[in-house]
Amino acid sequence: MFRHRASLGPVDLAFTDRFGGVSVVPYDELNLALEGGDDVRCRAENHRLVMDAFAPTDELVDLRQVHGAVVDVVEEPVDPDAFDGRPGADGVVTAMAGLTLMVRAADCVPVLLADPGAGVIGAAHSGRPGLVAGIVPATVARMRDLGAVEISAWIGPYVCGACYEVPAALQDEVAAVVPESRSTTSWGTPALDIGAGVRAQLGALGIVATDLAACTRESSDLYSYRRDGERSGRHAGLIRLRP
Ligand SMILES: [Zn+2]
C-alpha cells in the first residue's frame, strides 16, 4: 500500500503504490483516481482502505487537479459534498490538524511539504505544465503565509528524465523556464526531467527535497499514464498534522 511512509514531529506522510486495494485488471489494485474507467465502488473502497491505514480519524482533503498554479488554503473543515463545486487546484496547504491532504499522480511529480515546528503542511501535483506554471513555489509561498519557515520536502514517484520523451520544441519551451529540467532519454532523444525541475525550484527557495527516485514508467508497482494510457490508475501522496 505504502511505497514510502515517514513521520517528522507531528507530521505523518506517505506515498502509495498500486498494491492493497480492490480494483481489478487493468487498474489493479489500489487505484486512487477520481475519474476514469475503473468501477466507482472500487475507487471509493480504495480511498477508505488508504485512510483506514494512514489516518482513520482524519478528514480527507483532495483536489480537482487541473495542471495549474492555484493553491487551496484550507482554514476550516472541508464539506466533502461540496467537492464537485470547488474550483480546480494543484496545491493545498493547511495549519489544521486532523486533515489528510492528498495529491494524485501517474507520472507527474507528487510533492509533500512540511514545517513540523510551525505546524504547517502542504501538497502539490506538478507535471510539465505545473512545473512551468510554478505550482510548487506557489505552494511554498502559501505555506510561508501561514507561518512556515523551515520547510522539508518529499518528492514521490514520477516518470524519470531517461523515460519522459518530448519533442525538441517542447523541451526548449520548458527548459527556458526551468533549465534543470532538460534531459535525454535512455535511447538518446530529447526529454524532460520534471523531478529535477521541481528540485531546482525548491532549491532556489532554500529547500532540500528527499526524492524517492522511483520511476513510474519503469516500475509496474506504480501507475504510469505514459506506459498504460487510459488503462492507468493513480497513486497518491498523503500528508497530515496529527491532532
Ligand atoms: Zn524512467
pTM: 0.96
Cell of 61: 482533503
Residue ranges and CATH numbers for the domains of the chain are 2-241 (3.60.140.10)
- The CA 48 to ligand 1 mean position distance, Å, reads 30
More confident residue, 43 or 86: 43
- The CA 59 to ligand 1 mean position distance, Å, reads 34
Instruction: Quick: pLDDT tens for 69-79.
Output: 999 999 877 76
- The CA 78 to ligand 1 mean position distance, Å, reads 36
Chain centroid offset of residue 160 CA:
15
% of the chain at pLDDT higher than 70 = 96
Q: Comparing C-alpha atoms, which of 164, 87, 84 is closest to residue 127?
A: 164
Instruction: Quick: pLDDT tens for 174-191.
Output: 999 999 999 999 999 999
Q: What pLDDT, on the 0 to 100 scale, is given for residue 75?
A: 86
Query: ω before 10 within 30° of 0 (cis)?
Result: no
DSSP 102: E
- The CA 151 to ligand 1 mean position distance, Å, reads 28
- The CA 46 to ligand 1 mean position distance, Å, reads 26
Instruction: Order the strands of the 91-94 sheet from edge to edge.
Output: 71-74, 91-94, 120-126, 109-115, 152-155, 209-211
- State the Rg of the chain over Cα: 17
